[in-house]
Structure 1
Amino acid sequence: IIQSVTVTGELKARTVWLGCPEKCEEKYPKNAIKNQKYNIFTFVPGVLYQQFKFFLNLYFLVVACSQFVPSLKIGYLYTYWAPLGFVLAVTMVREAVDEVRRYQRDKEMNSQLYSKLTVRGKIQVKSSDIQVGDLIIVEKNQRIPADMIFLRTSEKNGACFIRTDQLDGETDWKLKVAVGCTQRLPALGDLFSISAYVYAQRPQLDIHSFEGNFTREDTDPQIHESLSIENTLWASTVVASGTVIGVVIYTGKETRSVLNTSFAKNKVGLLDLELNRLTKALFLAQVVLSVVMVALQGFVGPWFRNLFRFVVLFSYIIPISLRVNLDMGKSAYGWMIMKDENIPGTVVRTSTIPEELGRLVYLLTDKTGTLTQNEMIFKRLHLGTVSYGTDTMDEIQSHIIHTNGATPSRKTQTSGPKVRKSVSSRIHEAVKAIALCHNVTPVYESHGGVNGETESAEADQDFSDDNRTYQASSPDEVALVRWTESVGLTLVNRDLTSLQLKTPSGQILSFYILQIFPFTSESKRMGIIVREESTGDITFYMKGADVAMASIVQYNDWLEEECGNMAREGLRTLVVAKKSLSEEQYQDFENRYNQAKLSIHDRGLKVAAVVESLEREMELLCLTGVEDQLQADVRPTLELLRNAGIKIWMLTGDKLETATCIAKSSHLVSRNQHIHVFKPVSNRGEAHLELNAFRRKHDCALVISGDSLEVCLRYYEHEFVELACQCPAVVCCRCSPTQKAQIVRLLQQHTANRTCAIGDGGNDVSMIQAADCGIGIEGKEGKQASLAADFSITQFKHIGRLLMVHGRNSYKRSAALGQFVMHRGMIISTMQAVFSSIFYFASVPLYQGFLMVGYATIYTMFPVFSLVLDQDVKPEMALLYPELYKDLTKGRSLSFKTFLIWVLISVYQGGILMYGALVLFESEFVHVVAISFTALILTELLMVALTIRTWHWLMVVAEFFSLGCYLASLAFLNEYFDLSFITTWPFLWKVSAITLVSCLPLYIIKYLKRKFSPPSYSKLSS
């Protein structure tokens, strides 16, 4: 959320002494979060600049200032300065309220308290006061306030898990390892009894790498330890286990989370830009009209001064009330959105762009926490000849109990024939493999601990099920281990060298961990070699993706088919296999493996080659299917958006396989659509070949990784975007936060369409801020995305109503309101032009003083503003027929065509009102102001009624209230009206006749158009 900083030479490597900020050679940035746009000194100039950079407001400032020049003065000063002052006052109040809210949110984050370790013991310190070199203690479930090196943990194994979803979008917990020599210190206070420092590289964008060294000087010889990414604790991540102590190395704008966050921009709606262009056209027409008036005068006398007076005289052709009405309308739309009971909890944080919700073409969405709940559920176990689903888990449990020699309980007894021993053995082997082949650690909450610290199972030998939780770097693995627990084989203890399982009968099975081969995106599999304590048997277990395991397991005729079946159900599949090893085989492998790990050159390739020597002819045990549960109503919502013509791109930091699976299960990619997986490319030639291969595909979704995307954009940006925009769906996996924002800006540059970004994590903030419209979901991953977004919702499904109903209404209403306010200015300017032309082109105002102010306020404001309640389609219809949304993206509600129609209407009505008053009232010429003004007010009220499509009771009240105000004010406006004249019958019928001629033809045209060429929404309404 904080403003990003470009990595330049100013960001330097540093030496950080433990607990000694005063020894730092450089002055480092303050560790404060700052989302405010202004400070106390820049607020007024900043807001004024944002207002007067628009042509409309700048124009009125110049016009208002011109009235201080006596020769240019047309009327009273307040008729020009009062509306302008009101506009600026409303804007400043709104900005001030938003700024105060941002300040309060920042203050809440900066005031979070942390324990700081000093020579005198622990003290409490605010997050914003943390400095480079401080030793900070972070409790379980607490946010890490700055980038730190991990020194100690309360966990006995010297490691802990952290949640990084706010940083990289991945919900997999990351295992972090404390620096060895500080973890071994007997007591916490001993950190101050040693002389040690950290050498850290300069701050960088890359959140997945770090290079540094730890040096302890007070020993002989000195202790040196290399530091890598596993020794770091980045800001905005959360401690998931135990309590950690770290030394701060980067603060504030130098932290990884801030460097990966985009600069927040002031967003301007497309409708505002369109209206700005129209006002420029009106200004041009105003100047031309003024030149014509001066030319008809013959350019006599001080014609240049007269030209400027005419410009001021016709200034109402561009009404300043346009901004007031639009801004008030936007506030009303925001209030309606927040009060909608169908989307509870929705918050409008940027009140200036609600109409953007009705113009969106591209929706860029995060995956985890946005489309999915990030809750993995075990769904299917397939053994080749038999498949077990969630409804047959009791049968599996009975097989496990039978194999372990226990008597089945009444709940788990099977009613069929006697269970065959071979089937039970196969099921037991499969479940045992799943229970052993993972990186999951069981954690037992300490009843006597402080601040939620955890203890290992060794300190809690009863292995109580009540207080056990699981930690892992992958939620899939936790789902698998929880499932084995549900069927009777429970993981009760694990450390770096061993693990223990508990059978249904209570027996403890112990295994020694001989080797672990972690999962990588390249290998797409993980393995473990264990020795069973009771028998001494050595077994190599492996699980992985079907594409990686198919060539490793023995021949079978069912794996490929069943993997396809599960994938179509939206399940994430894992193939599980095993291989028994003799003591000699394992010793031979271990020797070769250790030698490979000591190699200096091509270490990775040599290690992989040794491991692959084991991965041959493995026994296929089973196929598992795990479901990442989708958010409520994700599928129908995505279908609704697609039918509305919105193209959906999924941008995620997750793995390619996971992203592809969710794209299928959520129906982001329909079942009959082909998916083109963009092969990894690293240079221009590979990118060219792969782009050509993709170009030959038709109507297929695209899946591409962040690394490959970067290469394509470097060499073939235009070609790639052109091809990607033709896809029905695009999935970008392994995306960094800055890449997500880059993709948004890419679409903005290469297409003329509006973009929307939606996410729920801190890693989505850059994307949300870069998009034309940013939507945050307040969920499990915190409030960062919600606070940074323009609109905040509680569930993804609410986006359908937000766009189809509120987006439609906001755009349609703003377009109608804007055009009607311009019509209100053009009609009175037309009357002024007719009046001046008749009276020898004199630059004399037709209406002065209160009449002009009252015309734009109490006489017409309420009926015109009541257009914010109008709707062309009922909400139910808008959701039932999302295809109606496509018309909005074409911008037909406010275009040069509709603008010209309103210009013609204004010219016609202004001419009729002015000429009619002069023709019908020749004998009462002195009353031309009262006559024409009364007809003008009646015409405006009738035109509002003509424009309204769905009546609301407040609209009726507004019409009669305004009419009543005008009639009541006639008694007090003796300066302009003769009460004895306006109460006569000739005045009443002639005013009525003029009004009828100005409005009736328009009603007839509207009726005929509705009858012979009705719009699509009117067909549905009928």
Structure 2
Amino acid sequence: MKLLGATAIEDKLQEGVPETIACLNLADIKIWVLTGDKLETAMNIGYSCNMLRDDMNEVFVISGHAPPEVQQQLRSAKERILGRSRVSSGGEVEKADDSVFQETIIAEYALVINGHSLAHALEPQLEHVLLDVACLCKTVICCRVTPMQKAQVVELVKRYKRAVTLAIGDGANDVSMIRTAHIGVGISGQEGMQAVLASDYSFAQFRYLRRLLLVHGRWSYYRMCHFLCYFFYKNFGFTLVHFWYGFFCGFSAQTVYDQWFIAFFNIVYTSLPVLAMGIFDQDVNDQNSLRYPSLYKPGQQNLLFNKRQFFLCTLQGMGTSFLLFFIPYGAFSVMVKEDGSHFTDQQAFAVTIATSLVIVVSVQIGLDTHHWTAVNHFFIWGSLAAYFAILFAMQSDGIFRIFPSNFPFIGTASNSLSETSVWLVILLTTVVCLVPGLAVSFLRAELFPTLTDKVRCLQQSRMRRGPREQNLKRGRRTSSRRSAYAFSHQQGFGELITSGRNMRMSTVSSVCSPGRAAHSSTWLENILKRKNEVSSYDQSVKIQVFLYIVT
């Protein structure tokens, strides 16, 4: 057989890959590269996307062919990392220059392991050592790995680190890895649609992963946490009123509210506002979410919703229910109507508590909302309007009566809410229920501000700087002189070409040697004096001379 020709596909990094990886690193997201390329190509890709840098402390290459050899290399790498950490107490420390927060950068290492070594390292007796060394390194690159090995590496992290894993790939050889991870992302490119069909999310460029995680992923976590906190708060405040009422009704299972209010509270009166908050709310806008990647860290540490937050929501709901019951109870014991008679009926007491409850939870969700839209306004104030409309329609005793005369609360709304003292009780209950939580939130933001509070303050005070790359200047200088092409090659010839040493200008060079910028004018005068000689050159030589003068 004769070789007639060869062809190749240009394997070049997509636009924005180095910036995306650097931004995700600032968000404390660990990135591992699992590729089928050979060692040289994989390392060149690592340098191209700034995962491998020349200023790293050390790059460990695991290339053993037998289990004892792989074990020795892994343990040697672990000992060197831990030994250097003990000596230097964490390595070099550099403070990040940022207006909002500061970070420290410790000693950085990289681990590169090939497929043969990975096959032995994934054995039960070595997988713990492999995982320990990989977690101590800043960058992990697995090269010459099979699709099954990609899935095994993801499964290893899932099983022992208990972390949420995300796998992203663009080809059919990434399908097993995508399906094994908690979240699969497929890139629709030149290698088919198999990865896209097996993934949870798909897009066309790798750089879109930054917005998926740092904007939409973080917003989703923030909204869900606040949704749950408010949901527990309002339901504890609504339900525990019956507990306090039980002490005065002999725990006879008599309800405080009327039956229709109990049915409509979670379905009509408070469902849409919390739904709008869970869909549209955002603590900071998308520009600042991308600009400050560290805003992603609270989600990794489960800071917005945990056992402590659940206890605080429960405590706030219990306090609200206590105030909702006992403030009207104490007021009704001494309050009189305008005609001098006392409020002695349980129905007026129930309407007062129900009205105070709906107003308190509606105002509270308004205070918890950081990003207002027309939908939030419509749902919150519309829910309040729907409450009063349904209340007067159900309990009306006039022409708008829609229930039979034996309905127990007929005429209660108009009789009780027509009294000024009842509205003063509602106002007092609302203020007393909301002021403590508002004061705690204000003091916490002023005395112990989080990164989100600082960024929100900058956003509100319009102190944002112009759009720039996402604070990459905080880290070290990560620029590399290597090519962005995923080929295994040495440093290019750009520096040699721009230096001018390879230009064919022997005649001109014999006139003078323009090695320094100070002699460039003299050299140009000599060339002009010998115009006849220069005119004999072809056009390409003239261009070379001109470029040489410029350089």
TM-score over 0.5 (shorter chain): yes
In the alignment, the residues of structure 2 paired with residue 671 and residue 639 of structure 1 have an alpha-carbon distance, to the nearest angstrom, of 15
Paired amino acid for 1:706: G
Superposition pairs of residues 101-120 of structure 1, within 5 angstroms: none
More helix by share: 2
Report the CA distance between 1:873 and its aligned residue: 1.4
C-alpha distance in 2 between matches for 1:735 and 1:928 = 72
Partners of 1:727 and 1:981 in 2: how far apart?
70
Structure 1 match to 2:110 = 701
Contact 1:918 1:925 survives alignment (8 Å): no
Q: Give the alignment partner of residue 158 of structure 2, picking from 748, 755, 759.
A: 748
1:676 matched residue in structure 2: 60
Q: Is the 8 A contact 1:777 1:792 kept in 2?
A: yes
Deviates more, 1:900-909 or 1:880-889: 880-889
Cα deviation per residue 1:523-579 (whole Å; 9 max; x = unaligned)? xxxxxxxxxxxxxxxxxxxxxxxxxxxxxxxxxxxxxxxxxxxxxxxxxxxxxxxxx
Measure, in 2, the Cα distance between the counterparts of 1:680 and 1:760. Answer: 29
Q: Residue 760 of structure 1: CA displacement?
A: 0.9
1:691 to 47, 58, 74: 74
CA deviations 1:570-626 (Å, max 9, x no partner) are xxxxxxxxxxxxxxxxxxxxxxxxxxxxxxxxxxxxxxxxxxxxxxxxxxxxxxxxx
- Cα deviation for residue 860 of structure 1 reads 1.2
AA aligned opposite 2:344: E
3-state SS of 2:257 partner: coil
Q: Say yes or no: does 1:894 pair with 2:318.
A: no
Query: Aligned equivalents of 1:670 and 1:654: distance in 2?
Result: 19
Check whether the contact 1:705–1:732 (CA below 8 A) recurs between aligned residues.
yes
Residue identity in the other structure for 1:941: S
Please give the residue correspondences for 1:997-1012 in structure 2 after superposition, counting only pairs within 5 Å: 997-1012=432-447
- What's the % identity of the aligned pairs? 30
Cross-structure match for 1:70 = none
Larger relative strand fraction: 1
Q: Is 1:821 equivalent to 2:241 in the alignment?
A: no
Give the deviation of 1:676 after TM superposition: 1.1
Letter in structure 1 aligned against 2:47: K
Please point out which of 90, 114, 120 is paired with 1:711.
Answer: 120
1:785 CA drift (Å): 0.8
Assess if the C-alpha contact under 8 Å between 2:62 and 2:73 holds in 1: yes
- Aligned-partner Cα distance in 2 for 1:957–1:890: 34
Unpaired runs of 5+ in structure 1? 1-156, 158-438, 443-469, 480-627
Structure 2 residue runs of 5 or longer lacking an equivalent are: 82-107, 334-342, 396-406, 458-551
Alignment of 1:987 with 2:397, yes or no, is no
Pick aligned residue for 1:874 from 285, 294, 297: 285
* Counterpart contact for 1:970–1:979, Cα < 8 Å: no
Letter in 2 for 1:705: N
- Residue in 2 aligned with 1:959? 380
Structure-2 residue corresponding to 1:738: 148
2:248 is matched with which residue: 838, 841, 844? 838
Q: CA deviation at 1:693?
A: 2.0
Tell me, what secondary structure is at the counterpart of 2:32? Answer: strand
Q: Say yes or no: does 1:933 pair with 2:360.
A: no
1:764 deviates by: 0.9
What do residues 762-818 of structure 1 show as CA deviations (whole Å, max 9, x unaligned)?
A: 111111111111111111111111111111111000001111111110000010001
Change (3 A) 1:1017 1:697: same
TM-score scaled by length of structure 2: 0.70
Per the normalisation by structure 1, the TM-score is 0.39
The 3-state SS of whatever aligns with 1:961 is helix
Alignment of 1:646-665 (within 5 A): 646-665=29-48
Instruction: Give the ranges of 4+ consecutive aligned residues of structure 1 lying more than 6 Å apart after TM superposition.
Output: none
Alignment of 1:287-686 (within 5 A): 441-442=4-5, 470-471=6-7, 475=8, 628-673=11-56, 674-683=58-67, 685-686=68-69
**In structure 2, how many angstroms separate the alpha carbons of the residues matched to 1:782 and 1:819?**
43
- Shift of residue 688, structure 1, vs aligned partner: 2.4
- 1:848 deviates by 5.1
Cα distance 1:928–1:805, how it changes in 2: closer, same or farther (>3 A)? same
Between 1006-1015 and 741-750, the greater mean CA deviation after superposition: 1006-1015
Q: Tell me, in whole angstroms, the C-alpha distance in 1 between the residues paired with 2:307 and 2:414.
A: 43
SS of the residue aligned with 2:393? Answer: coil
Aligned to 1:725: 135
Which one-letter code corresponds to 1:914 in the other structure?
Answer: F
Contact 1:808 1:885 in 2 (8 A): yes
Name which of 329, 338, 345 aligns with 1:918: 329
The Cα offsets for residues 64-105 of structure 1, whole Å up to 9 and x where unpaired, read as xxxxxxxxxxxxxxxxxxxxxxxxxxxxxxxxxxxxxxxxxx
Asked if structure 2 preserves the Cα contact closer than 8 Å seen for 1:695 and 1:723, the reply is yes
Q: Could you tell me which amino acid in structure 2 is paired with residue 1015 of structure 1?
A: T
Secondary structure (helix, strand or coil) at the match of 1:898 reads helix
Structure 2 distance, partners of 1:764, 1:942, is: 49
Superposition map of 1:741-890 within 5 A? 741-847=151-257, 849-867=259-277, 868-890=279-301
In 1, the alpha carbon distance for the partners of 2:284 and 2:116 equals 45
SS of structure 1 residue aligned to 2:112:
strand
Partners of 1:777 and 1:963 in 2: CA distance = 46
- Map Cα deviations across residues 941-971 of structure 1 (whole Å, 9 max, x no partner): 0110121123223222222111111111112
Question: Given that residues 761 and 784 in structure 1 are in contact (C-alpha distance below 8 angstroms), is that contact kept between their aligned partners in structure 2?
Answer: yes
Distance 2:425 2:280 in 1: 33
Deviation at 1:440, TM superposition (A): 6.1
Q: What is the letter of the counterpart of residue 687 of structure 1?
A: V
Deviation at 1:925, TM superposition (A): 3.6
Q: Distance in 2 between matches of 1:784 and 1:844?
A: 61
In 1: Cα distance, 2:3 partner to 2:244 partner? 85
Partner of 1:16: none
Whether the aligned pair in 1 keeps the contact of 2:257 and 2:351 (CA below 8 Å) is no
Distance 1:784 1:850 in 2: 53
Which protein has greater RCO, CA pairs closer than 8 Å, 6+ apart?
A: 2
The Cα shift of 1:717 comes to 1.5
Which amino acid counterpart does residue 789 of structure 1 have in structure 2? Answer: S
Find the aligned partners of 1:733 and 1:953 in 2 and give their Cα distance: 51
Contact 2:52 2:139 in 1 (8 A): yes
Q: Structure 1 residue 641: deviation in Å?
A: 0.7
Q: How many residues align?
A: 404
Offset, 1:630: 0.9
Structure 1 pair 682/829, CA: closer, same or farther in 2 (3 Å)? Answer: same
1:427-461: per-residue Cα shift (whole Å, max 9, x none)? xxxxxxxxxxxx9644xxxxxxxxxxxxxxxxxxx
Separation in 2, partners of 1:837, 1:757: 56
Deviation of 1:847 after TM superposition, in Å, equals: 3.4
Q: Which amino acid is the alignment partner of residue 327 of structure 2? A: G
Where 1:921 maps in the other structure, the secondary structure is helix
Looking at structure 2, the residues matched to 896 and 848 of structure 1 have their Cα atoms a distance apart, in angstroms, of: 34
CA distance in 1, matches of 2:138, 2:158: 18
Map Cα deviations across residues 482-532 of structure 1 (whole Å, 9 max, x no partner).
xxxxxxxxxxxxxxxxxxxxxxxxxxxxxxxxxxxxxxxxxxxxxxxxxxx
Rounded to whole Å, the distance in 2 between the matches of 1:761 and 1:866 is 38
RMSD between aligned residues:
1.8
